[in-house]
Homo-oligomer: A and B are copies of this chain.
């Protein structure tokens, strides 16, 4: 998606440790109109009519996933990241490593809201090593639901998460795959289509 690549180049910032900051439009201050354009780009790549629910993980995936779900007239579930008092028993759980916070966290979805055979499209704003998406896919499997696909806005291609999903034969679509990021240069992988 060229408009997304342009914004990453023009507004993104590369920090030490290969951290790519796009928090001016994607995951802190969110350009919600642009999230609508990203939703349209996903809709060109997935058969949205074949989707029952959008699944993401808190927190930063929620903005993009909500606007996708709103445009497509679907419900959206966000997996929670810690056990709060407001979630009762009956949970699907998947433990993942959060490299952002450098600790293990458990993704939780209430069994009540993710029924077997539900057709699930996973949406997230960012993928690096792919731990959050791996956990979300696990939750879909635990529920006996069907994973229709995984859509990611920005993939850090050099950290392996996306390639692992591609090898698994999942219908995986990333709109901007960054193969190299230095303070001087951001290099994108050529589009497959």
Contacts and interface: CB of A to CB of B under 8 A. Distances in A.
B86 A30 contact: no
Given A23-B86, A100-B85, A28 B70 contact: no
A177 interface: no
Contact of A73 (B29, B33, B77): B33
A84 B101 contact: yes
A70 B113 CA distance: 25
A166 B89 CA distance: 36
A106 interface: no
Nearest to A54: B32
Interface string A8-29: 0000000101010101100011
Interface of A: 15, 17, 19, 21, 23-24, 28-33, 35-36, 53, 58-60, 62-63, 66-67, 69-70, 73-78, 80-82, 84-88, 100-102, 109-110, 112-113
